[in-house]
Structure 1
Amino acid sequence: MKRVRDIAYFKKIREIREYEFGLFYFFDGLVISEIHSGVTFNWNMAQKVVDAAHEFYGKNIPIAYISNRVNDYFVVPGDWAKFYRNRHKLSFYSVVGNTKGSFTSLVLERMFFQNSIKQFSDVEDAIDWSLTKIATQKELA
């Protein structure tokens, strides 16, 4: 699988945030994560990223999030409830991965995530889809 640093779109990077649990790449209206191997990604970790996104983008623009699952890690699916309880919102969410762990996590996340989750096997396809969705949403606003 491709890492964000290895694709041409990386040249459009605006900021990188590195945490003990993973890397987060900020582009115009788009956040891509690469969580470290073996991590159990939970609400406390997600809150740090949400705060960074609000700082970077503000709270009122459409944001697409891509989980580029280049490593095996776990997501606490029930923590999506905390995400919504705190009135956070993602306009578009996609997952890139083809490992057994990424598929299992995706099945569980779909049970708790309130919108649809799009699945891709290539990060560049996920970026293209996300940018198209963001552009369409901006046109409709």
Structure 2
Amino acid sequence: MTEIKEGIILNFEKAAALFQLGKEHYGNKTPFVYISNRINSYSFEPTAHYKSTDLFPNLLGFAVVTYDLLNKEVAELEQVFLNKPTQIFHTLDDAIAWVEQLIIRD
């Protein structure tokens, strides 16, 4: 799960340290789902999703938790660029429950 600082413009290069941590923890075999807990408003270069999903063959999906309409609309736009199951939630508990279901099914 990540929480990005307010106002950050995140791209593939800026997220490299995050990707490295994910590789060290999950490797290429342990299934996982990425949770973005959007307590802050930030931008992510949507086409970077193509590069990041190639790094993780064991990535099962994306869960995004939003707390306002603007972040929900941004998350909906980003879904277009994702080639994995993706859901938007209003609570972290709901996102975690969905993640657990995805991992159990794998």
Task: Could you tell me which runs of 5 or more consecutive residues in structure 1 were left unpaired when the two chains were aligned.
Answer: 1-31
Match of 1:52 among 13, 21, 34: 21
Matched, 1:129 2:98: yes
Cα contact 1:97–1:103 (8 A) shared by 2: yes
Task: Could you tell me which runs of 5 or more consecutive residues in structure 2 were left unpaired when the two chains were aligned.
Answer: none
Q: Which residue in 2 is equivalent to 1:88? A: 56
Aligned mates of 2:67, 2:12 — CA distance in 1: 24
Q: How many residues align?
A: 105
Larger radius of gyration: 1
Match of 2:31 among 46, 55, 62: 62
SS of residue in 2 equivalent to 1:118: strand
Structure 1 segments, 4+ long, off by >4 Å, are none
- Percent identity between matched residues is 29
> How far 1:100 moved relative to its partner?
3.5
Match of 1:103 among 45, 58, 72: 72
TM (norm. structure 2) is 0.87
Give the aligned CA root-mean-square deviation in angstroms. 1.6
Letter in 2 for 1:88: F
TM (norm. structure 1) is 0.67
Higher relative contact order (CA 8 A, sep 6+): 2
